[in-house]
Amino acid sequence: MALLKIKNLSVKSGENNKEILKNISLEIDEKSIHVLMGANGSGKSTLAYALMGISRFKVTGGSVIFLNKNITKLSIDQRAKMGMTLAFQEPAIFEGISVQDFLRAGNKKISRKKTEEILSLIGLEPKKFINRYVDQTLSGGERKRIELASVIALKPKLIILDEPDAGLDIIIYRELYGILENIKRETKASILLISHREEVGLIADRATFLRRGKTICSGPFRPVMRKYCQSLKRKEICLKTMPCLKNL
Ligand X SMILES: Nc1ncnc2c1ncn2[C@@H]1O[C@H](COP(=O)(O)OP(=O)(O)OP(=O)(O)O)[C@@H](O)[C@H]1O
Residues lying near ligand X in the complex (CB under 6 A) are found at 13, 15-16, 18, 20, 38, 40-46
From 169, 231, 174, select the one nearest 37 (Cα to Cα). 231
Q: Which stretch binds Mg ion (CB under 5 A): 38-46, 65-73, 197-205, 237-245?
A: 38-46
Q: Compute the least distance from the CB of residue 13 to Mg ion, in Å.
A: 14
For Mg ion, the closer of residues 45 and 195 by Cβ is 45
For ligand X, the closer of residues 53 and 142 by Cβ is 53
For ligand X, the closer of residues 44 and 197 by Cβ is 44
CB 89 within 8 A of CB 47: no
CB 190 within 8 A of CB 184: yes
- DSSP for 208-243? EEEETTEEEEEEEHHHHHHHHHHHHT-HHHHHHH-G
Taking phi first (over 0 means left), then psi (-120 to 50 degrees means alpha), and beta for anything else, what does residue 68 get? left
User: Rounded to an integer, what distance in angstroms lies between the CA atom of residue 159 and that of residue 193?
Assistant: 8
For Mg ion, the closer of residues 78 and 89 by Cβ is 89
Q: Compute the least distance from the CB of residue 238 to ligand X, in Å.
A: 17
Q: Does 187 bind Mg ion (CB under 5 A)?
A: no
Q: Does 45 bind Mg ion (CB under 5 A)?
A: yes
> Nearest 5°: CA angle at 6, between 69 and 86?
85
Q: Compute the least distance from the CB of residue 85 to Mg ion, in Å.
A: 17
Q: Compute the least distance from the CB of residue 118 to ligand X, in Å.
A: 28
